[in-house]
Amino acid sequence: MAELISPMDMEIEDSDQPLKQNKGKNVVVGVPSDGKATPWVEKYRPQSLADVAAHRDIVDTIDRLTSENKLPHLLLYGPPGTGKTSTILAVARKLYGAQFHNMILELNASDDRGIDVVRKQIQDFASTQSFSFGVKASVKLVLLDEADAMTKDAQFALRRVIEKYTKNTRFALICNHVNKVIPALQSRCTRFRFAPLDATHVTERLKYVIEAEGYVFYLFLL
């Protein structure tokens, strides 16, 4: 039987010490044999929760809740390039497999996220029944990346939509600045803070990428 989880019961703070904040988007490009250039930031985006470096407590908790079909609404926050988007995309892959794109509505800062989008696009998606075959989970997922860029009106409207469709839809809000998300939304979500990755995890990941690209990894400690 499904168990109710109070959003306020759980807030995991990731305690890794800050090393650096590196958004790293579209910086280094690998050129695979098919000639298509894929930014490494996408090529090496973690595909599964097991691939996410660091944040073990957070990832294990989300993994367990996903496996048990008890996923609450989520609010993932923290500095850029710490794995928030990758984590939630890995959750979606785990929940929906090949039906991934039918079962999630993904909105980010390049989309308009004013009140009209909440009223129309999100509500339309949340209110329709999904009939995707081969999907283990019955709930759909609305992924609101860069939620701190949403207008206040839109956030207040979203609060109602979350309440209304909580039975068949989970909402995952992602942001850098949690204080820009209204308390009414925060309190409806289970919050996870993604701290900057520590030196060990950054080095390990770098080594993995360099070796996967066919280079030899040397570490010089000055």
Ligand X SMILES: Nc1ncnc2c1ncn2[C@@H]1O[C@H](COP(=O)(O)OP(=O)(O)OP(=O)(O)O)[C@@H](O)[C@H]1O
Site residues (vs ligand X, CB under 6 A): 23-24, 41, 44-46, 52-55, 80-86, 176, 194, 197, 205
* Backbone phi, psi, residue 168, to 5°: -120, 5
Instruction: Give whichever of 8 and 109 is closer to Mg ion, judged by the CB atom.
Output: 109
Question: Which CB atom, from 95 or from 143, has the smaller least distance to ligand X?
Answer: 143
Between 91 and 117, CB nearer to ligand X: 91
Select the residue whose beta carbon is closest to ligand X and give its number: 83
Pick between residue 141 and residue 157 the one whose CB is nearest to ligand X: 141
DSSP secondary structure letter of residue 118: I
205 binding partner (options ligand X, Mg ion, none; Cβ < 5 to 8 Å by kind): ligand X
Angle in degrees, 0-180, between the axes of helices 84-96 and 56-67, rounded to the nearest 10: 20
Secondary structure element (H or E) that encloses residue 90, with its range:
helix 84-96
User: Residue 107 forms beta bridges with which residues?
Assistant: 144
Q: How far is the CB of 82 from ligand X (least distance, A)?
A: 4
Residue with tokens 């996967």, as numbered in its chain: 212
| CB of 103 vs Mg ion, minimal distance in Å | 19
Neighbours of 221 (CB within 10 A): 3
When binding is defined by CB under 5 A, the residue of 54, 59, 82, 85 that contacts Mg ion is 85
User: Alpha-carbon distance 162 to 46, whole Å?
Assistant: 28
Residues forming contacts to Mg ion in the complex (CB under 5 A) are 85
